[in-house]
């Protein structure tokens, strides 16, 4: 069975390669794009958009839309947005945003998510964001996250509060400036009760980053701190580089455990046949905060073993093509890329003293992800097909595979608008995954059906996830995700 699936995947890739060139009379047309498709599984609550603009961001891949010329900035007609959703898995959610006409407040948003996969398992997440300008030249943002989770033998309450200031450019003198300056300070408080034993973790957190530029120095710098851990990233520019290489920098990633050098660069070459080849390495320093780790799986037991994640190797090679639009069914865009990554202190879910509650530990892993994405269309009918093949291994555990990372993902997304209706159908296939004990997980084949009716500034939508009622594991000791019905509404006002 697995050999057949591998042959099917290779055949799909070969078919996409075969379709990538459109032969026209006396010419060959291929183009370029930087589009990255959104692969959301269902009609998720929209993420906040904090700048003044459209409060309803589009979640359709731009690669399949005609370019729309930008119009001059106009005053927002609708300054508020509301979305409500319920599902058959005893869950509910809401999202609200408001852009007031005020000199001191730029935006307010609130996101609530309630989950209850079992009567004894409940979780609640509240996210509040407030954008403000107490002084004209001092824009600030306040973010408050509250997360709670309850299950047999376990209870946790997490509160994360932060204040941030971002400035695109700060001119210190005629020849000296700081670009992309981001200053953030916060406080985190985690109270958990496990097997009747209560513990409290509280710590300050900070984030400072920016790029300093002058006649004699070009320096990027980032400093992170949380749970007593401090991480530092310093990246001086290396000046002119050969072969049209851009953004050449020497990076140093450091914390209490590691001191790692790396190189940053980017190269982009328009090919003679119209395609674009790109090659880049982007070292990363990331703080996996408690709130971000609890966002996907709320039933986790976190502690002070937290580590700052460092990615010295993040090498990506890509090819992108775009093709002229035709009346019949044809390939409109093709994207291929391969990413090789080496990550230190990556959180891996593991078993804890309480069954069903994950306890992360931090490991180093190496991975190779190869992706082929094709966008097809015929009139208003759109098909997005992607194939992901990833090999990821933990190098500290005899190169055991990283748990819960499928080696093969095949995703097909169909959508078709008809008057005020939008219809969609997804086929989501995931193969060759293991759990945290190294046990093989069953293959997942999910069929999802979605529809939305739009009228004026309002819409109603529904979606059925996993029509075949297949098991999809987030953590094998927890209840798997299965057949779920979602109903919701959206409204601008």
In a domain, 458, yes or no: yes
- Supply the pLDDT for residue 163: 96
Half-sphere exposure of 348 (CA within 13 A, CB side): 27
Give the number of domains in the chain. Answer: 1
Q: Is residue 69 part of a domain?
A: no
For position 287, what pLDDT does the model report?
86
Q: Are 271 and 278 in contact (CB under 8 A)?
A: no
- pLDDT band at residue 179 under the 50/70/90 scheme: very high
| Least confident interval from 2-16, 157-171, 267-281, 428-442 | 2-16
Distance CA 350, CA 485 (A): 30
Q: Which domain holds residue 51?
A: 2-64+75-492
Give the residue-averaged pLDDT of 90-119.
92
In a domain, 156, yes or no: yes
Kindly tell me if the per-residue pLDDT of 274 is higher than 90.
no
pLDDT for res 164: 96
> Does 70 map to a domain?
no
Q: Are 399 and 356 in contact (CB under 8 A)?
A: no
Q: pLDDT at position 11, please?
A: 53
* Average pLDDT of the segment spanning 308-335: 90
Name every residue whose Cβ is closer than 8 Å to that of residue 53 and which is 6 or more positions away in sequence.
76
The answer to the question of residue 436 being in a domain is: yes
Are the C-beta atoms of 56 and 493 separated by less than 8 Å?
no
Strand partners, 374: 334, 385
**What CATH number did the domain enclosing 340 receive?**
2.40.170.20
User: Residue 480: in which H helix or E strand, if any?
Assistant: none
Asked whether residue 370 is assigned to any structural domain, the reply reads yes
The whole-angstrom separation of Cα 337 and Cα 277 is 10
Structure confidence at residue 72 (pLDDT): 52
Nearest to 143 by CA among 178, 97, 108, 113: 108
154-171 and 91-98 beta bridge pairing: unpaired
41, part of any domain: yes
Does 429 score more than 90 pLDDT?
A: yes
Mean pLDDT, the chain, whole residue set: 84
pLDDT value at residue 24: 36
pTM of the model: 0.79
Helix (H, G, I), strand (E, B) or coil at 227: coil
Owner of token pair 């209850």 = 116
Task: Using pLDDT thresholds of 50, 70 and 90, give the confidence band for residue 210.
Answer: very high
pLDDT digits (tens, 9 = 90+) for 369-384: 999 999 998 888 999 9
Cα separation of 303 and 135, whole Å? 38
In a domain, 324, yes or no: yes
pLDDT at 67 over 70: no
């Amino acid at each position: 069975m697995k050999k057949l699936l591998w042959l099917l995947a290779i055949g799909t890739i070969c078919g996409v390669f075969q379709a990538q060139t459109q032969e026209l009379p006396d010419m060959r047309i291929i183009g370029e794009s930087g589009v990255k498709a959104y692969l959301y599984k269902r009609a998720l609550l929209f993420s906040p958009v904090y700048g003044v603009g459209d409060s309803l961001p589009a979640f359709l891949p731009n690669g399949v839309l005609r370019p729309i010329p930008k119009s001059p900035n106009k005053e927002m007609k609708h300054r508020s947005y509301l979305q409500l959703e319920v599902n058959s898995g005893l869950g509910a959610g809401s999202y609200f945003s408001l852009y007031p006409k005020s000199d001191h407040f730029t935006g307010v948003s609130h996101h609530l998510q309630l989950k209850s996969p079992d009567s004894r398992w409940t979780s609640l997440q509240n996210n509040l964001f407030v954008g403000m300008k107490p002084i004209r030249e001092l824009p600030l943002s306040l973010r408050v996250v509250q997360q709670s989770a309850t299950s047999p033998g376990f209870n946790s309450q997490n509160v994360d509060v932060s204040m941030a200031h971002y400035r695109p450019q700060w001119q210190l003198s005629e020849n000296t400036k700081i670009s992309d300056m981001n200053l953030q300070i916060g406080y985190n408080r985690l109270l958990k009760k496990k097997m009747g034993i209560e513990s409290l973790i509280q710590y300050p957190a900070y984030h400072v980053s920016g790029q300093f530029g002058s006649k004699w120095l070009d320096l990027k710098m980032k400093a992170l701190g949380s749970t007593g851990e401090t991480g530092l990233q310093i990246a001086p520019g290396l000046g002119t580089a050969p072969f049209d290489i851009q953004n050449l920098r020497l990076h140093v990633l450091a914390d209490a455990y590691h001191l790692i050098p790396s190189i940053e660069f980017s190269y982009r070459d328009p090919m003679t046949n119209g395609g674009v080849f790109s090659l880049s390495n982007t070292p990363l320093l990331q703080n996996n905060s408690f709130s971000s780790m609890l966002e996907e799986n709320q039933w986790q037991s976190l502690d002070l073993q937290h580590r700052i994640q460092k990615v010295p190797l993040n090498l990506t090679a890509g090819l992108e093509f775009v093709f002229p639009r035709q009346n019949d069914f044809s390939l409109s865009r093709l994207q291929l890329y391969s990413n090789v990554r080496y990550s230190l202190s990556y959180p891996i879910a593991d078993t804890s003293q309480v069954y069903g509650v994950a306890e992360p530990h931090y490991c180093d892993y190496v991975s190779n992800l190869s992706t082929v994405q094709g966008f097809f269309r015929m009139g208003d009918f759109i098909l997005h097909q992607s194939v992901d093949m990833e090999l990821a291994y933990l190098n500290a555990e005899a190169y055991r595979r990283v748990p819960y990372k499928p080696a093969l993902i095949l995703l097909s997304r169909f959508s078709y608008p008809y008057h005020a209706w939008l219809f969609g159908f997804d086929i989501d296939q995931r193969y060759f995954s293991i759990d945290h004990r190294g046990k093989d997980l069953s293959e997942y084949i999910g069929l999802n059906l979605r529809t939305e009716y739009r009228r004026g500034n309002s819409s109603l939508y529904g979606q059925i996830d996993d029509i075949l009622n297949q098991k999809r594991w987030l953590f094998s000791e927890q209840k798997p995700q299965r057949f779920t019905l979602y109903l919701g509404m959206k409204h601008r006002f």
